[in-house]
Amino acid sequence: MAITKSKTLKVDYFSYAKAFFNLMKPRVMSLVIFTCAVGLLIAPEKINFANAIFSLMAVALGSGAAGALNMWYESDLDSLMTRTCLRPIPTGKLSKNQALVFGVISSVVSVVSLYIFSNLIAATTLVITILFYVFVYTIWLKRKTPQNIVIGGASGALPPVIGWAIATNGITLEPIILFLIIFVWTPSHFWALSLYKSDDYKKAKIPMLPITSGIKKTKINIFIYAFLLFPIALSPYFFNFSGLVYFIPASILSSYYLLISYQLLKEKNFTEENKIAKKLFGYSILYLFIIFSAILADKII
């Protein structure tokens, strides 16, 4: 009997830990860690391995804290949407208070840790990232304007800037270019998602562009941002920030991104439109990963 209780207790603790981990939006956190690491690794100055690892862990915790606070505030919306209804708070695995306490404590710990292991500029940028995501995007913009993802995307674009600041204790043109790549990429990425998940957003009364302005205008805006992304993605080469190892794959990847966006713009059949929107959303994730990998590879080679 005692053995059975012990096994049950272990399973409960594991489930509890898993719920807190999921509260941190691990998929988003992985992208944050990756882009931050690229910013750190391509910087002209290097820091010791231990400080680099602890700094990245602090940034990861800060990202997770922002995700937890986002879920705390949006738990009512999450319960209405098929994409988010299985998150820890809607399913009852964690309470709103637990998410709030966890998010606040994690935010403080992450910022203080980053300051200890790196510098004030990196820690300050992390503070701005967390506050912008929670207060500007989640609390202020998300339920009020279809431009929520455009303005709010700034928080998701800051990790490579943090990585650069960790290594250099400063911010120059190079990390700003990396910021702009993610910032301009974000709207087309999320609007593609909102096209084939429009029923979810309508149910939750979130004013995403397809709901407020219609499908046609959303597709036009996706194409415009994909068009703007093209020169910005190639700009590292023209600013002598990278070489052909980056320029060639970036040109091919960005051309294909623009092509899919154009196909989506011209498609009029609803079923095919959703298929292309899903394709664009999936490709956009791969695109950003390869673009940043190419920047890193270019610097290494």
**Same domain flag for 127 and 148:** yes
* DSSP secondary structure string for all residues of 77-145: HHTT-TTTTTSTTTTTSS-HHHHHHHHHHHHHHHHHHHHHHS-HHHHHHHHHHHHIIIIIIIIIITTT-
pLDDT of 9 > 70? The answer is no
Domain boundary among 119, 154, 170: 170
The residue count for the chain: 301
In angstroms, the Cα distances linking 236 to 18, 162, 164, 246, 287 are 39, 18, 15, 8, 16
Position 164, amino acid: W
Contact 138, 79 (CB under 8 A): no
Q: How far is CA 138 from the centre of its chain?
A: 13
Please indicate, yes or no, if residue 176 is contained in any of the structural domains.
yes
**Same domain flag for 246 and 165:** no
Beta-carbon contacts of 287 under 8 Å, excluding residues fewer than 6 positions away, are: 185, 253, 254, 257
Q: List pLDDT tens digits, range 39-96.
A: 999 999 999 999 999 999 999 999 999 999 999 999 999 999 998 999 999 999 999 9
**Same domain flag for 130 and 266:** no
Domain boundary among 170, 187, 210: 170
Closest C-alpha among 173, 167, 160, 176 to residue 126: 160
**Same domain flag for 24 and 166:** yes
**Same domain flag for 197 and 276:** yes
Whichever domain contains 211, its CATH number is 1.20.120
Beta strands in the chain (DSSP E): none
**Same domain flag for 198 and 127:** no
**Same domain flag for 74 and 138:** yes
Please indicate, yes or no, if residue 6 is contained in any of the structural domains.
no
Q: List pLDDT tens digits, range 87-122.
A: 999 999 999 999 999 999 999 999 999 999 999 999
Range of the domain at 37: 18-170
Whichever domain contains 106, its CATH number is 1.10.357.140
Please indicate, yes or no, if residue 1 is contained in any of the structural domains.
no
**Same domain flag for 129 and 262:** no
Contact 250, 224 (CB under 8 A): no
Number of domains in the chain: 2
Please indicate, yes or no, if residue 258 is contained in any of the structural domains.
yes
Contact 94, 75 (CB under 8 A): no
Residue whose tokens read 């600013």? 239
Domain boundary among 170, 191, 206: 170
**Same domain flag for 100 and 241:** no
> What pLDDT was estimated at residue 10?
52
Q: List pLDDT tens digits, range 164-182.
A: 999 999 999 999 999 999 9
Please indicate, yes or no, if residue 201 is contained in any of the structural domains.
yes
**Same domain flag for 35 and 163:** yes
Helices (H) and strands (E) in the chain, counts: 14, 0
**Same domain flag for 222 and 272:** yes
Q: List pLDDT tens digits, range 78-90.
A: 999 998 999 999 9
Range with lowest mean pLDDT among 152-156, 226-230, 231-235: 152-156
pLDDT, the chain, mean: 94
Closest C-alpha among 125, 265, 280, 112 to residue 194: 280
> How would residue 11 be classed by pLDDT, with cut points 50, 70 and 90?
low
Range with lowest mean pLDDT among 47-51, 147-151, 235-239: 147-151
Please indicate, yes or no, if residue 217 is contained in any of the structural domains.
yes
pLDDT of 12 > 80? The answer is no
Please indicate, yes or no, if residue 30 is contained in any of the structural domains.
yes
**Same domain flag for 33 and 136:** yes
Q: Cα(287)–Cα(301) distance, rounded to whole angstroms?
A: 21
Contact 20, 94 (CB under 8 A): yes
Please indicate, yes or no, if residue 4 is contained in any of the structural domains.
no
Q: Cα(173)–Cα(160) distance, rounded to whole angstroms?
A: 12
